[in-house]
Structure 1
C-alpha cells in the first residue's frame, strides 16, 4: 500500500512539472505608458540631481581657485619674512647687532648706559615682533595649504559624482526613449516573409503614413537641426518621389558635418537598423554605405563624387 502511495505521488509530481509554464503576456500600451511615466519621473529627478551637482561643482571650483590664490599670497609673505628673519639671525651671530651684555658693560656713563639699554630693548622688541609676525605668516601659510588641499579634494569628489549622475540620467533617458519607440508599430499590412505592402503617399507632405511615423520618431528623438527632406518630384529611380524616403540633414550646403553631427548621424542610422523590422524600414544609407533589411549588414557603395551624393552629410532612410 505504501509503495502504491509513493508511486501515485511521484506520478502526480511528474504530471505537474510536465505542464509548460505560461509565458508572461506582452505589455499593453497602457502598461507601457505607465512604465514610461515612471521612467520619466526618475529621469527628471536624475536631471535635477545632475544640475545640482553642476552647481556644487562650480562652487567647488571657485572655492578651490580662491584657496590657491590665498595660498600663493601667504607663500609670498612667508618667504619674505623667512628671508628677513634669517638675515637678522646672521647679523646677530657675526656681531652686526650688539648683544645686550656688551651694551651694558661697554660704557659706565649712566646716560649712555640708559641709551644702550633702550636700544637693546628696542632691538629685542623688533626681534620679538618679527618672530611673532613670522609665526602668524607661518600659521596662515599652513592654514591656506590645508584649505587648498581640502578644496581640491571637494572638487575631485564633485567631478566624480557629477559624472556618475550624468551617466545615470543619460541611461534613464535612453530607457524613456526606447519605451516611446515601443509604443508605435508601422501602419499597414505586413507579409508573411517580413516585408510590407507598399502604401500610397497622402497629406500635404506627400509621404506615406509609414514614412511619416519614422520621420516623426527620429525628429522627436534626435532633434535634427538642419532639417528633414522627404518628398521631391524628381524621378531618379529612388523612393523620394514615391513618398517613401527621407534625408536627415547634418549640415548645410554640402559641407562636411562636424564631429558631433556625424555622431548624430551614426545614432540615427543605428536606431533605424535596430527598429527596421518593427517600423517597416527597407534600407539605410549613410557614409557611402548601405544597410538593407534583407541582408542585415552594411556594405560599401561606389563613390558618387561628393559629400551629399555619398551621404556623408545625411542618413537616408527608405521604407517599404
Structure 2
C-alpha cells in the first residue's frame, strides 16, 4: 500500500477543512432560512393590521362612551320631569288636604240629612258634584305624578345598569387599546432597527460628514432620519430642512431638519408638545445607530457627546427658542 507524501496529506486535510466549512455554512444557512429576520415590508404589513385593530378599538371605545353619555342624559331628563311632577303632586296634595279639612270643620251633612229636605237638594247636589269633580281631577294629577315617578325610577335603574355595563366595556376596551398601542410601538421599534445610517463611522463614534443630494438638498443620513420620523409621527405641520441662510448651523449643509408643531410661530397645543417630546425621545434612543449629532427642543439642547440636556439662552421668540418644533442635526 502506497504511503501518501506530506504534501498530499496536507492537501487532503485542506480539502476536508473546506468541505467541513461548507457543511457548517450550509447548516447555518438552513437554520437561517428556518427563522429568517422579518423584512421591513413584512413588519409594515403587520403594523398596518395592528393599526387597523387599534383604530377599531378606539372607535368602539368612543361609541361606548357616547352610549354612556346618552344614558346619563336620559336619566337627567327623567329627573327633571320628576321634579316638575313633584311640584304638581305637592300642590294637589295640599288642595286635597285643605278640602278634607274644610269638609270636616264645616260639618258637611251626611247623605241622610241631604235627602231629608233640611237643605236645598239642588244646591247640595251641585256642591257634591263639584267636590267630586275636584277630587277626581286631583286624583288624576296624582296618578300622573305616580306615572312620572315610576318612569324616573325605571330610567334611573336603566341608566345605572347601562353605566355599569358600559363602564366594564370601556375599561376592557381601554386595556385592549393600550395593549395594541404597545404592540404597535414594539413593531415600529423593530422597523427602526432594520435601518442604519449610511456612510462611514469613525472609531470615536462620530460619522464622516456627507454631501447633500437630491431635490431636497439634504444628505442621505438626514433623509433617512426625516423619512423615519415622518412615517412614525406624521408631523402634520410640515418639515423644514435645507435653507441658504448661513447661521452657523447645519441647515445650509443639508444636515438638519425642523419638525414643526404649529403654524406661524404660534405656541403648539398640549398634544403637539407631547408629539415633540416623543420625536426628541425617539431621536435620542436611535442617535448612535442613525448618526444623530444633537437635538434642540423647548430652549434645551441634547448632544451625542454628553448624552444630556442643557438649557439654552433665550433667543427671543417661540420659534427661535424651538418651542414650536424639535430641531435634529446629523453628523
Q: Please tell me the TM-score bracket, short chain as reference.
A: 0.7 to 0.9
Taking a change above 3 Å as real, the CA distance of residues 251 and 82 of structure 1, as seen in their structure-2 partners, is closer
Equivalent position of 1:258 in the other structure? 269
SS of the equivalent of 2:210 reads coil
CA distance in 2, matches of 1:37, 1:114: 94
- Correspondence for 2:217: 206
Could you tell me how far apart the structure 1 residues matched to 2:290 and 2:315 are? 29
Q: Distance in 2 between matches of 1:153 and 1:63?
A: 10
1:1-320 matches, cutoff 5 A: 29-30=37-38, 34=42, 37-95=45-103, 102-106=110-114, 108-109=116-117, 112-113=120-121, 116=124, 120=128, 123-124=131-132, 126-128=134-136, 130-131=138-139, 133-151=141-159, 154-155=162-163, 158=166, 160-161=170-171, 163-164=174-175, 166-320=177-331
Helix, strand or coil at the partner of 2:208: coil
The structural deviation recorded for 1:126 is: 4.5
Q: What is the alpha-carbon distance in structure 2 between the residues aligned to residue 53 and residue 262 of structure 1?
A: 25
Change (3 A) 1:276 1:63: same
* TM-score where L is the length of structure 2: 0.75
Query: Structure 1 residues 252 and 36 mapped into 2: Cα distance closer, same or farther (>3 Å)?
Result: closer
Q: Give structure 1 stretches of 5+ with no counterpart.
A: 1-24
State how far apart, in whole Å, the 2-side matches of 1:47 and 1:230 are: 32
Partner in structure 2 of residue 8 of structure 1: none
User: How many Å separate the matches in 2 of 1:157 and 1:193?
Assistant: 60
Q: CA deviation at 1:115?
A: 6.7
Shift of 1:110: 9.7
Q: Could you report, residue by residue, the CA deviation over 1:64-115 in whole angstroms, capped at 9, with x for unpaired residues?
A: 3133223312331232133212222232123279777535315513995587
* Counterpart position of 2:3: none
Contact kept, 8 Å, 1:255 with 1:313, in 2: the verdict is yes
Change (3 A) 1:113 1:253: closer
Give structure 2 stretches of 5+ with no counterpart. Answer: 1-31
Contact 1:269–1:286 at 8 Å: present in 2 too? Answer: yes
Deviation for aligned residue 1:306? 3.1
**TM-score of the superposed pair, with normalisation by structure 1:** 0.77
Structure 1: distance between partners of 2:87 and 2:283: 66
Q: 1:273 offset after TM fit, Å? A: 0.7
User: 1:124-147 deviations in whole A, cap 9, x for unaligned?
Assistant: 465355335413422421331341
Cα offset for 1:250?
A: 2.4
Give the conservation status (yes or no) of the 8 Å contact 1:29–1:183.
no
CA RMSD in angstroms comes to: 3.3
